[in-house]
């Protein structure tokens, strides 16, 4: 071994305000600490730390940071917490590139699930085992018990999204030399312990019938009816306008002999965060994917339900007169305002409870639509187009349990055809 190898390099002194460059034995890396300004909370100097394999590398990184500072660009302190970095990463790198609903969902997941547990940890001290414990915990006990019998843990899909968010933020931190390596790279998703999928739990035919019969007098009965009969998403139904309905044969709503029609799905009503105020607002957005922008055939009985709903809405419009906020929405409040999707969900939960039906997510109506069609032998491609999945593989993956049953039935048919005594 060469003389002196493995010993700590002597720290090089710099003039006041210049920072320090030295070699760290524990990480086998050169380090530069650069003062970047006074912390207004503590009154103390803040430092930015960068790493490199050679002294020359850290000198170059130090020079780049000093150049950025000279241009007035913001430099994050090495003492930045994980929570502070997540907020900065979301606003700087994602706010203008994500759909408003996706941005709001990212922010909610960060604030509700990541920051309460790990937000106060300095970014440079965050460890893979801390992230792994969080993911495991969320999978087992991450969900608020909103109703009796609700699952305790988040779905694997939600935990995967939380991990994706953490990983992307930490990857950016590596790029900006806030940390040496991404600790999320050393984590894995928890395994699904329960039998079957937590995502797909459809209603039975009897439950759907019981549910719809129990709410026939509700002013939003037609909305729940369309959810069950079309497999559309909640936002797609709440975003429908009367101009999206095309009646067959050039008929109008005042005609008595209405047949079927078509429903054009071309927008979705979503809850998004206002970028100026930070408060939630109701906003129309394009459907989730290009395939989601679609035309759905309406049966005569569907048109009849819509006509009855339209009659009630016209009475409400007459009652409120000039105070009615008319956007042409099919489903709205009594005075024409856009509905809050979350309140629509609450109504659904209340109706289920009153009907004595075990709770399932509102999205279960969409799953039920697809499941019943596939069990009836409907072509997978047709189901994909009806519900607006972007890829056929998405439909196949979600409803693989149904397709397996269909495969077995197909083989049994062949067995009966080629029966050998």
Identify whether residues 145 and 229 lie together within a single domain: no
Give residue 401's pLDDT band: very low, low, confident or very high (50, 70, 90).
low
The model carries a pTM of: 0.63
Give residue 17's pLDDT band: very low, low, confident or very high (50, 70, 90).
very low
Are the C-beta atoms of 36 and 69 separated by less than 8 Å?
A: yes
- The answer as to whether 192 is a domain residue is no
pLDDT in tens, 375-395: 888 888 888 888 888 788 777
- The answer as to whether 420 is a domain residue is no
Identify whether residues 382 and 235 lie together within a single domain: yes
CA separation (Å) from 285 to 132, 238, 266? 35, 12, 9
- The answer as to whether 112 is a domain residue is yes
**Taking 70 as the threshold, does the pLDDT of residue 51 lie above it?**
yes
- The answer as to whether 13 is a domain residue is no
Identify whether residues 123 and 244 lie together within a single domain: no
Identify whether residues 63 and 28 lie together within a single domain: yes
- The answer as to whether 170 is a domain residue is yes
pLDDT value for 308: 96
Identify whether residues 262 and 397 lie together within a single domain: yes
pLDDT value for 280: 85
Contacts of 106-113 spanning 24+ positions with Cβ under 8 A: 106/165, 107/273, 109/158, 109/161, 109/162, 109/165, 110/86, 110/165, 113/138, 113/142, 113/154, 113/162
Question: In angstroms, how far apart are the furthest CA atoms of the chain?
Answer: 100
- The answer as to whether 321 is a domain residue is yes
Query: How many beta carbons lie within 10 A of that of residue 118, not counting itself?
Result: 19
- The answer as to whether 133 is a domain residue is yes
In this structure, what CATH number is given to the domain that contains residue 345? 1.10.443.10
Give residue 213's pLDDT band: very low, low, confident or very high (50, 70, 90).
very high
Are the C-beta atoms of 186 and 84 separated by less than 8 Å?
A: no
pLDDT value for 256: 87
Identify whether residues 251 and 377 lie together within a single domain: yes
Identify whether residues 170 and 40 lie together within a single domain: no
pLDDT in tens, 214-227: 999 999 999 999 99
**Taking 60 as the threshold, does the pLDDT of residue 73 lie above it?**
no
Report the C-alpha dihedral over residues 371, 375, 380, 384, rounded to 10 degrees.
-20
pLDDT value for 134: 94
Identify whether residues 171 and 288 lie together within a single domain: no
Q: How many domains does the chain have?
A: 3
pLDDT in tens, 117-160: 999 999 888 999 999 999 999 988 755 544 444 556 788 888 99
Q: Which of 186, 218, 241 is the last residue of a domain?
A: 186
**Taking 90 as the threshold, does the pLDDT of residue 2 lie above it?**
no
pLDDT in tens, 92-115: 889 888 888 888 899 999 999 999
Average confidence (pLDDT) over 64-70: 76
- The answer as to whether 91 is a domain residue is yes
**Taking 90 as the threshold, does the pLDDT of residue 89 lie above it?**
yes
Host domain of residue 29 = 20-70
Q: Which of 139, 154, 186 is the last residue of a domain?
A: 186
Instruction: For residue 165, give both structure tokens.
Output: 């968010």
pLDDT value for 8: 45
Contacts of 404-409 spanning 24+ positions with Cβ under 8 A: 405/375, 406/374, 406/375, 406/377
Identify whether residues 371 and 232 lie together within a single domain: yes
Identify whether residues 146 and 251 lie together within a single domain: no
Are the C-beta atoms of 344 and 350 separated by less than 8 Å?
A: no
CA separation (Å) from 78 to 6, 25, 32, 391? 26, 19, 11, 43
CA separation (Å) from 212 to 89, 354, 382? 45, 12, 25
Identify whether residues 262 and 399 lie together within a single domain: yes
Average confidence (pLDDT) over 292-320: 95
Identify whether residues 59 and 93 lie together within a single domain: no
């Amino acid at each position: 071994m060469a003389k002196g190898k493995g010993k700590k390099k002597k720290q090089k002194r710099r003039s006041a305000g210049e920072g320090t460059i030295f070699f760290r034995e524990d990480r086998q890396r050169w380090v530069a600490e650069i003062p970047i300004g006074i912390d207004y909370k503590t009154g103390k100097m803040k430092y930015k730390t960068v790493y490199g394999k050679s002294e020359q590398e850290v000198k170059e990184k130090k020079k780049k940071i000093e150049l950025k500072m000279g241009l007035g660009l913001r430099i994050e302190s090495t003492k930045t917490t994980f929570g502070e970095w997540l907020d900065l990463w979301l606003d700087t790198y994602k706010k203008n590139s994500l759909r408003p609903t996706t941005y709001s969902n990212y922010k909610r997941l960060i604030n509700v699930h990541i920051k309460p547990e790990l937000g106060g940890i300095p970014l440079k001290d965050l460890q893979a085992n801390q992230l792994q414990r969080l993911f495991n915990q969320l999978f087992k006990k991450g969900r608020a018990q909103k109703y009796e019998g609700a699952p305790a843990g988040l779905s694997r899909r939600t935990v995967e999204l939380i991990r994706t968010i953490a990983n992307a933020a930490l990857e950016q931190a590596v790029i900006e030399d806030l940390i040496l390596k991404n600790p999320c790279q050393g984590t894995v998703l928890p395994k699904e312990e329960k039998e079957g999928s937590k995502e797909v739990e459809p209603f039975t035919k009897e439950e759907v019938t019981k549910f719809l019969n129990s709410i026939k007098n509700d002013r939003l009965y037609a909305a729940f009816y369309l959810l069950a009969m079309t497999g559309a998403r909640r936002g797609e139904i709440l975003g429908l306008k009367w101009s999206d309905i095309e009646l067959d044969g050039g008929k109008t709503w005042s005609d008595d002999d209405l047949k079927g029609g078509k429903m054009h799905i071309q927008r979705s009503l979503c809850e998004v965060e206002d970028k100026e105020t930070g408060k939630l607002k109701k906003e129309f957005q394009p459907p989730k994917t290009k395939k989601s922008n679609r035309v759905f055939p309406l049966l005569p009985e569907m048109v009849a339900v819509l006509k009855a709903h339209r009659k009630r809405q016209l009475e409400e419009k007459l009652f409120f007169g000039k105070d009615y906020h008319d956007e042409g929405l099919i489903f709205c409040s009594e005075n024409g305002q856009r509905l809050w999707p979350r309140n629509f969900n609450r109504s659904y939960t209340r109706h289920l409870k009153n009907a004595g039906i075990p709770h399932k997510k509102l999205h279960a109506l969409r799953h039920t639509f697809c499941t019943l069609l596939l069990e009836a032998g409907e072509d997978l491609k047709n189901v994909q187009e009806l519900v607006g999945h972007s890829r056929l593989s998405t439909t196949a993956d979600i409803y693989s349990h149904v397709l397996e049953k269909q495969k077995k039935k197909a083989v049994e048919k062949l067995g009966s055809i080629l029966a050998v005594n």
